[in-house]
């Protein structure tokens, strides 16, 4: 039921409540049976064993298990044990403790109020929040966390901070008397307060209308729970690659097995060959290397102020094409700041954010001393005295306790050295007329400001205050506020409002003594107008540069906020997100279009204003439906559903709620949008490095397949046995592949457009390169094998050892060429990656150990090689390296440079 559409009496009648005594204990018990307790239920958590079993649900892993079974069947127990050991280790590395939905629900529960003040059986009582039922009569006061969704039946000056739910940056006024005939967005419902929001000012009473999962925050909890974890782009690409490799492997094994049987070879021998091919085709070290490289990438990102909770999220960042960002606290500083003043018939500019000591008040770019300007001094004095907020200093920084608007006035006082505490001691408050939404003003009365008199200080809505002023203060003189002056003030007010500034007017009045009847409407008449202040939650200065950097990288930034359309556009324009109002759409407009229409709308929209959590979810879903890789940033409860639905959720670490932090994959430790650009860059570097070692490993593996396959076709003995191939794939190749994963990245990586979301890890250029390299490796090793068979016709084991050494040496040399897809080895520097030097040296030493250590010779079926043998090995081993460098010089650089120039040219036009 839409409770905000009902009158108070209708709500009371529908819920069967006596507003004098509340519910009885008997009625509470009945309702608990119907509605349940006021908390959220969790889904059963997946067991460790279940997660482990899921790791074996992979095509390549199943092929390896099959190879292990075959090895056992033909008596190669040692090979079988090694293969199974690899499978188990990879499965353990793949088990991550995710549980985002469970953690988010726990955070939601912790966030809600543990107790509530209710009227039951005619008495005020404090009960656990979980005991509330629809119909309970709840008492609300400043500082309370709202314990359920409540329809107000009475309130006095009630203000509620709904930022975590709606994104609204300032507390909203509530009014129990209003009701609505039409649908109204969540943030505009003045007669309802919502579970998890905070009462910042005033008091009220209301009737609980929804509890548990039926509350707005409960709906978020259910939707977080309902969304299954989606595979990241990297996981999808690796799975596709695995299925492709697995299918090819099975086909090759069948073909080779058939050819062998046709040639008259023994069945057991061909089983052994099939196992060799399966082992050769599958890059056994790939899952472990991907995991390690992503983990190292996580450590790098921590240094760049981004904590990544999930390994696969590192790569997803690099593939991001759209960033959907919450405005408040993410793109802006989440601190209302006065930026302009109108006083003495002049407009002043205010620099600095919050209580920043460098903040100044400027007139025509010249610093103004408040002490030498009587009107400014009066304006700042009114701002700090007609003020109920307080300032706490925590760990060297200031924290506003109370209304952010009043906090901004105190901060303005700091800039002019007008301090609230000193002013209150010097001119004590003796009475007040509190702010009321009907009057839109607040007035306080002080003594000692003018000897023997009482002075009232008033702040409020400009149109209301101006109408009640009879005089104006200009350069310390009191003048009659005529129509011309009034028109000038209203013009300034309108210009401030057009720039999305929230404007307050400040005035005062002198009395001989404190008025006896403060309820009289005349007390706030005949005032002296002092000035206007315009305030806004300002953009983060570094966010603008970060957005430009993302734009150059081909990433679109979208701002999503609960603020009004004009405010949203003003901020977005200053940040460089939107250029016209045509790029802005509101939540109400979203409600009027279908999901199919939204898919078209999101293509040209960069700002969404007055949105609800459901809107955010629809926006993210529409972008994903268009094939975008979506990163969603945010810090409030209202962001949690979209954070989970997005390809990657990014939460603020300082201002972010626990719900947002636990739902997101990435947490920014400095709440800085600029850190997202750094994280994207790091993600791109990591994905580029993953491509490099996937290319390296696959070209090695396909080369090994060719060696075995061609030898069978030519009716030769198999050049490499399974244990040698396992050693090569897991040990010799893995160390250089790991070093490739630690490349520092190329300087122009943020000038390249993002990879298409549906593009495979291996694109056309890389596929051609893999084929060329595989042929080069296979041909080189087969030529070495042919030479060895001819040179040592009676020693198959020596011929295999020479082939083994040639293949490994060729792959170690080729690892250096794999360090860049576009740049030649002499350009990036042979020694510029020390890890590669260590890795290839270690791999070569392990090769020497396998060839020369007697016990290892028995295990790997090798023999000692002499100097002449090594001369042959090295001669052949350099051939693949030369081919790789030649291919880059002739084809890859030429095409990539052209593509990059075209992309940069198009982005320059877009920026203009």
**SS3 of residue 763 by DSSP:** coil
What are 118's strand-pairing partners?
125, 138
The residue to which tokens 């009587």 are assigned = 374
pLDDT at position 94 over 60: no
The answer to whether 900 touches 822, Cβ cutoff 8 Å, is no
Q: Place 599 in a pLDDT band, splitting at 50, 70 and 90.
A: very high
pLDDT at position 720 over 50: yes
pLDDT at 827: 83
pLDDT at position 232 over 70: no
Q: Place 689 in a pLDDT band, splitting at 50, 70 and 90.
A: confident
pLDDT at position 721 over 50: yes
pLDDT at 441: 92
Q: What is the mean pLDDT of residues 797-810?
A: 95
pLDDT at 633: 82
pLDDT at position 267 over 90: no
If you ran DSSP here, which 8-state letter would residue 894 be given?
H
Nearest by Cα to 847 from 831, 829, 865: 865
Q: Place 400 in a pLDDT band, splitting at 50, 70 and 90.
A: confident
Q: Please classify residue 448 by burial: count the beta carbons closer than 10 Å to its beta carbon, then call 0-12 exposed, 13-18 middle and 19+ buried.
A: middle
Q: What angle do CA 211, 215, 221 make, to 5 degrees?
A: 110
C-alpha span between 661 and 664 (Å, rounded)? 5
pLDDT at 279: 66
Of residues 643 and 9, the one with the higher pLDDT is: 9
Q: How many helices (H) and strands (E) does the chain have?
A: 34, 28
- Kindly report which listed range (186-195, 290-299, 896-905) carries the lowest average pLDDT score: 896-905
C-alpha span between 805 and 758 (Å, rounded)? 39
Tokens matching residue 431: 């009475």
Q: Place 513 in a pLDDT band, splitting at 50, 70 and 90.
A: very high
pLDDT at position 270 over 70: yes
What beta strand segments (E) does 110-267 contain? Answer: 115-120, 123-128, 137-141, 149-161, 172-173, 192-193, 198-210
3-state DSSP of 321-337: CEEEEEHHHHHECCCCE
pLDDT at position 762 over 70: yes
Q: Place 69 in a pLDDT band, splitting at 50, 70 and 90.
A: confident
pLDDT at 529: 97
If you ran DSSP here, which 8-state letter would residue 617 be given?
H
Residues 727, 845, 823, 676: is their CA dihedral positive or negative? positive
C-alpha span between 162 and 176 (Å, rounded)? 17
C-alpha span between 255 and 268 (Å, rounded)? 16
Residues 876, 877, 878, 880: is their CA dihedral positive or negative? positive
Q: What is the mean pLDDT of residues 308-332?
A: 79
Q: What is the mean pLDDT of residues 408-422?
A: 91
**SS3 of residue 723 by DSSP:** helix
Average per-residue pLDDT for the chain: 83
**SS3 of residue 148 by DSSP:** coil
Nearest by Cα to 646 from 669, 623, 667, 673: 623
The answer to whether 13 touches 117, Cβ cutoff 8 Å, is no
Give per-residue pLDDT as tens, 821-850.
878 888 888 888 899 999 999 999 999 999
Instruction: Return the active site residues.
Output: 326
- Report phi then psi at 512, rounded to 5: -70, -35
pLDDT at position 12 over 50: yes
Ranked by mean pLDDT, the top range of 252-256, 552-556, 681-685 is 552-556
pLDDT at position 85 over 90: no
N-terminal to C-terminal alpha carbon distance within the chain: 50
C-alpha span between 224 and 646 (Å, rounded)? 12
11 alpha-carbon distance from chain centroid:
40
If you ran DSSP here, which 8-state letter would residue 145 be given?
B
3-state DSSP of 777-834: HHHHHHHHHHHHHHHCCCCHHHHHHHHHHHHHHHHHHHHHHCCCCCCCHHHHCCCCCH
Q: Place 467 in a pLDDT band, splitting at 50, 70 and 90.
A: very high
C-alpha span between 758 and 435 (Å, rounded)? 57
**SS3 of residue 210 by DSSP:** strand
Give per-residue pLDDT as tens, 536-595.
988 888 888 889 888 888 899 999 887 888 888 988 998 999 999 999 999 999 999 999
The answer to whether 803 touches 720, Cβ cutoff 8 Å, is yes
Where b means 16+ CB within 10 Å and e means fewer, 319-346 reads: bbbbbbbbbbbbbbbbbbbbbbbbbbeb
C-alpha R_g of the chain: 36
Q: Place 905 in a pLDDT band, splitting at 50, 70 and 90.
A: very low
Q: Place 112 in a pLDDT band, splitting at 50, 70 and 90.
A: very low
pLDDT at position 109 over 80: no
pLDDT at 608: 94
What are 584's strand-pairing partners?
607
Q: How many CB atoms lie within 10 A of CB 374?
A: 16
Q: What is the mean pLDDT of residues 39-66?
A: 67
Q: Please classify residue 363 by burial: count the beta carbons closer than 10 Å to its beta carbon, then call 0-12 exposed, 13-18 middle and 19+ buried.
A: middle
Q: What angle do CA 824, 825, 829 make, to 5 degrees?
A: 125
- Helical H runs in 5-47? 8-15, 25-35
Q: What is the mean pLDDT of residues 15-33?
A: 92
Q: What length does the chain have?
A: 912
Query: What is the percent of the chain with per-residue pLDDT over 70, rounded to a whole number?
Result: 84
Q: Place 96 in a pLDDT band, splitting at 50, 70 and 90.
A: very low
Q: What is the mean pLDDT of residues 490-509?
A: 92
The answer to whether 523 touches 513, Cβ cutoff 8 Å, is no
pLDDT at 442: 93
pLDDT at 254: 83
C-alpha span between 541 and 553 (Å, rounded)? 20
Give per-residue pLDDT as tens, 632-662.
887 766 677 778 888 888 887 776 665 667 6
Nearest by Cα to 97 from 43, 48, 41, 42: 48
Ranked by mean pLDDT, the top range of 47-56, 132-141, 249-258, 396-405 is 132-141
**SS3 of residue 263 by DSSP:** coil
pLDDT at position 31 over 80: yes
C-alpha span between 572 and 577 (Å, rounded)? 5
3-state DSSP of 631-655: EEEECCHHHHHHHHHCCEEEEECCC
């Amino acid at each position: 039921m839409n409770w905000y559409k009902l009158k108070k009496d209708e709500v009371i009648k529908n819920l069967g409540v006596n507003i004098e005594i509340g519910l009885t204990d008997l009625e509470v018990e009945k309702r608990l049976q119907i509605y349940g307790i006021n908390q959220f239920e969790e889904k059963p958590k997946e067991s460790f064993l279940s997660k482990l079993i899921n790791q074996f649900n992979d095509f390549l892993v199943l092929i390896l298990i099959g190879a292990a079974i075959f090895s056992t069947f033909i008596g190669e127990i040692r090979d079988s044990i090694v293969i199974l050991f690899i499978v188990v280790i990879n499965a353990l590395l793949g088990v991550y403790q995710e549980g985002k939905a469970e953690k988010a629900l726990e955070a939601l529960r912790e966030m809600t109020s543990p107790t509530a003040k209710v009227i039951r059986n005619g008495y005020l009582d404090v009960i656990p929040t979980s005991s509330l039922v629809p119909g309970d009569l709840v008492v609300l006061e400043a500082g309370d966390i709202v314990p359920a969704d409540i329809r107000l039946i009475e309130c006095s000056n009630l203000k509620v901070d709904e930022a975590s739910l709606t994104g609204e940056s300032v507390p909203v006024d509530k009014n129990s008397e209003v009701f609505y005939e039409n649908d109204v967005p969540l943030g505009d419902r003045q007669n309802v307060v919502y579970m998890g929001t905070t009462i910042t000012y005033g008091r009220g009473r209301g009737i609980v209308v929804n509890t548990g999962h039926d509350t707005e925050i409960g709906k978020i909890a259910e939707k977080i729970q309902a969304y299954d974890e989606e595979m990241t782009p990297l996981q999808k690409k690796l799975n596709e690659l695995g299925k492709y490799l697995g299918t090819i492997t099975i086909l090759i094994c069948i073909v080779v097995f058939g050819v062998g049987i046709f040639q008259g070879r023994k069945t057991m021998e061909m089983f052994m060959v099939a196992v060799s091919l399966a082992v050769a085709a599958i890059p056994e070290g790939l899952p472990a290397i991907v995991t390690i490289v992503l983990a190292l990438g996580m450590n790098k990102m921590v240094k760049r102020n981004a904590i990544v909770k999930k390994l696969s999220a590192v790569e997803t960042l690099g593939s991001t094409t759209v960033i959907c960002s919450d405005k408040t606290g993410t793109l802006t500083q989440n601190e209302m700041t006065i930026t302009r003043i109108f006083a003495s018939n002049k407009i002043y500019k205010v620099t600095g954010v919050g209580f920043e000591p460098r903040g100044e008040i400027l007139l025509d770019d010249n610093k103004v001393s408040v002490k030498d300007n009587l009107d400014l001094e009066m304006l700042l004095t009114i701002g700090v005295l007609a003020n109920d907020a307080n300032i706490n200093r925590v760990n060297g920084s200031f924290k506003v306790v109370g209304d952010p608007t009043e906090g901004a006035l105190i901060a303005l006082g700091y800039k002019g050295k007008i301090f609230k505490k000193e002013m209150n001691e010097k001119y004590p408050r003796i009475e007040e007329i509190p702010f009321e939404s009907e009057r839109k003003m607040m007035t306080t009365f002080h003594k000692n400001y003018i000897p023997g008199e009482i002075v009232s200080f008033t702040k409020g809505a400009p149109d209301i205050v101006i109408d009640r002023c009879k005089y104006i203060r200009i350069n310390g003189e009191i003048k009659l506020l005529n129509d011309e002056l009034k028109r000038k003030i209203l013009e300034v007010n309108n210009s401030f409002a057009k720039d999305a500034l929230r404007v307050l007017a400040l005035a005062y009045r002198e009395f001989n003594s404190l008025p006896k009847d403060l309820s009289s409407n005349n007390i706030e008449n005949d005032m002296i107008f002092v000035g206007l202040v315009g305030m806004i939650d300002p953009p983060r200065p570094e966010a603008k540069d970060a957005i430009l950097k993302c734009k150059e990288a081909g990433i679109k930034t979208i701002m999503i906020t609960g603020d009004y359309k004009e405010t949203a556009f003003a901020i977005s324009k200053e940040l460089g997100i939107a250029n016209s109002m045509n790029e802005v759409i509101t939540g109400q407009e979203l409600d009027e279009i279908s999901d199919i229409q939204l898919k078209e709308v999101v293509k040209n929209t960069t700002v969404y204003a007055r949105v609800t959590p459901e809107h955010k979810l629809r926006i993210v879903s529409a972008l994903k439906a268009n094939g975008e890789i979506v990163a969603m940033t945010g810090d409030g409860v209202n962001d949690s559903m979209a954070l989970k639905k997005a390809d990657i959720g990014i939460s603020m670490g300082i201002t972010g709620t626990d719900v947002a932090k636990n739902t997101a994959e990435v947490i920014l430790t400095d709440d800085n949008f600029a850190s997202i650009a750094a994280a994207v860059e790091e993600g791109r570097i990591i994905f580029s490095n993953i491509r490099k070692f996937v290319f390296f490993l696959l070209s090695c593996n396909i080369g090994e397949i060719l060696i075995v396959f061609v030898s069978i076709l030519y009716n030769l003995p198999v050049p490499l046995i399974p244990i040698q191939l396992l050693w090569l794939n897991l040990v010799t190749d893995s160390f250089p592949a790991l070093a490739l994963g630690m490349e520092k990245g190329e300087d122009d990586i943020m000038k390249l457009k993002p990879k298409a979301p549906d593009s495979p890890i291996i694109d056309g250029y890389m596929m051609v390169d893999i084929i060329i390299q595989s042929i080069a490796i296979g041909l080189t090793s087969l030529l070495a094998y042919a030479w060895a068979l001819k040179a040592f016709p009676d020693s198959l084991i020596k011929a295999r050892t020479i082939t083994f050494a040639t293949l490994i040496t060729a792959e170690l040399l080729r690892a250096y060429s794999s360090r860049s897809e576009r740049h030649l080895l002499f350009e990036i520097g042979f020694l510029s990656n020390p890890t590669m030097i260590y890795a290839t040296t270690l791999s070569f030493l392990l090769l020497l150990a396998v060839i020369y250590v007697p016990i290892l010779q028995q295990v790997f079926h090798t023999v000692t090689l002499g100097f002449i043998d090594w001369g042959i090995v090295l001669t052949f081993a350099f051939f693949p390296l030369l081919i790789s460098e030649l291919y880059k010089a002739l084809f890859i650089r030429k095409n990539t440079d052209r593509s990059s120039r075209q992309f940069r040219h198009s982005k320059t036009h877009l920026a203009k």
